[in-house]
């Protein structure tokens, strides 16, 4: 079952009438949360989010104000696992949605059915900066390079920079785990974390930073 199918079942359960514009608008502003993470991607399955029978979900207000508060976590690649870091040479040509910039890049799936990059993994150039995934990712910063619609970031990549991270991972039944890294160099190749089910973890905080020159301190 997908998240979208689950939402439809919930709507049927609470008796939401599709013809009632007011109720429909209210429902669209709500979002499901599980294990501290907002379930943004309607096309993902319950198994992807590690949901089991009798798992408990929360329904929360999904207004822009709520999303920017960062009270809930997100599912993102485990940047603390150095074994998951890969690299590849630059291609001489490729689609518009796979063009990277120097520094930090994020990646996610475009869900806009009217876009040429629909269901494709797109690159979101961020550059040389400090980026808070839970607070800075929104409809102005993490967008598809083709249609400019919001894309939920899932993995990250680096090139021609020094980068580091700091964050807090969460796991059901366990206390949050703080983790961070020292400055790591990414040369003139695309260094990225692969996107597999086993590589994705829940973050209640994750800040990525990329700079052109390694700081002296």
Domain boundary among 40, 69, 98: 69
Q: In this structure, are strands 161-171 and 184-186 parallel, antiparallel, or unpaired? A: antiparallel
Least confident of 1-5, 89-93, 203-207: 1-5
Q: Mark whether 78 and 147 lie in a shared domain.
A: yes
Q: Mark whether 62 and 83 lie in a shared domain.
A: no
**Does 44 map to a domain?**
yes
**Does 180 map to a domain?**
yes
**Does 181 map to a domain?**
yes
**Does 216 map to a domain?**
no
Domain boundary among 18, 46, 69: 69
CB distance 210 to 87 below 8 Å: no
Higher pLDDT, 140 or 48: 140
Q: Mark whether 58 and 79 lie in a shared domain.
A: no
pLDDT recorded at residue 30 = 62
* Mean pLDDT for the stretch of residues 116-134: 97
Residue 23 to residue 20: CA distance in whole angstroms = 5
User: For the chain, how many structural domains are there in total?
Assistant: 2
pLDDT recorded at residue 65 = 39
210 by Cβ neighbours in 10 Å (0-12 / 13-18 / 19+) ranks as buried
pLDDT recorded at residue 3 = 80
Q: Mark whether 82 and 152 lie in a shared domain.
A: yes
Domain boundary among 69, 91, 113: 69
Q: Mark whether 130 and 98 lie in a shared domain.
A: yes
- Half-sphere exposure of residue 126: CA atoms within 13 angstroms, side-chain side: 29
Residue 177 to residue 190: CA distance in whole angstroms = 28
11-62 residue pLDDT tens: 776 665 555 555 555 555 566 777 656 676 777 888 877 777 777 676 665 4
81-101 residue pLDDT tens: 999 999 999 999 999 999 999
pLDDT recorded at residue 143 = 97
Q: Mark whether 86 and 178 lie in a shared domain.
A: yes
pLDDT recorded at residue 209 = 98
188-202 residue pLDDT tens: 999 999 877 678 999
pLDDT recorded at residue 44 = 80
165-187 residue pLDDT tens: 999 998 877 888 999 999 999 99
Residue 64 has pLDDT above 50, yes or no: no
Residue 104 has pLDDT above 80, yes or no: yes
Q: Mark whether 115 and 139 lie in a shared domain.
A: yes
pLDDT recorded at residue 88 = 96
Sign of CA pseudo-dihedral 47, 203, 4, 173: positive
Q: Mark whether 164 and 109 lie in a shared domain.
A: yes
Residue 78 has pLDDT above 50, yes or no: yes
Q: In 10 A of CB 125, how many CB atoms?
A: 14
What pTM, to 2 d.p., does this model score?
A: 0.71
Range of the domain at 27: 3-69
Sign of CA pseudo-dihedral 99, 100, 106, 107: positive
Q: Mark whether 192 and 153 lie in a shared domain.
A: yes
Q: Mark whether 100 and 171 lie in a shared domain.
A: yes
Can you read off the two tokens belonging to residue 54?
């009798």
Q: Mark whether 117 and 16 lie in a shared domain.
A: no
């Amino acid at each position: 079952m997908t998240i979208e199918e689950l939402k439809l079942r919930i709507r049927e359960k609470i008796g939401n009438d599709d013809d009632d514009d007011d109720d429909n608008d209210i429902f669209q502003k709500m979002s499901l949360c599980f294990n501290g993470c907002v379930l943004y991607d309607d096309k993902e399955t319950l198994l992807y989010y590690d949901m089991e029978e009798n798992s408990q979900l929360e329904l929360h207000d999904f207004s822009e104000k709520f999303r920017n508060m960062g009270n809930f976590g997100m599912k993102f690649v485990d940047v603390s696992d150095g074994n998951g870091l890969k690299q590849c040479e630059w291609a001489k040509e490729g689609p518009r949605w796979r063009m990277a910039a120097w520094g930090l890049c994020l990646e996610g799936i475009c869900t806009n059915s009217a876009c040429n990059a629909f269901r494709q993994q797109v690159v979101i150039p961020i550059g040389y900066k400090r980026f808070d995934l839970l607070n800075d990712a929104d409809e102005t910063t993490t967008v598809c390079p083709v249609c400019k619609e919001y894309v939920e970031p899932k993995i990250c990549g680096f090139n021609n920079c020094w980068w580091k991270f700091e964050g807090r991972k969460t796991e059901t039944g366990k206390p949050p785990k703080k983790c961070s890294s020292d400055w790591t160099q990414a040369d003139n190749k695309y260094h990225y974390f692969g996107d597999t089910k086993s590589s994705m973890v829940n973050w209640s905080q994750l800040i990525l930073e990329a700079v052109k020159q390694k700081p002296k301190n």
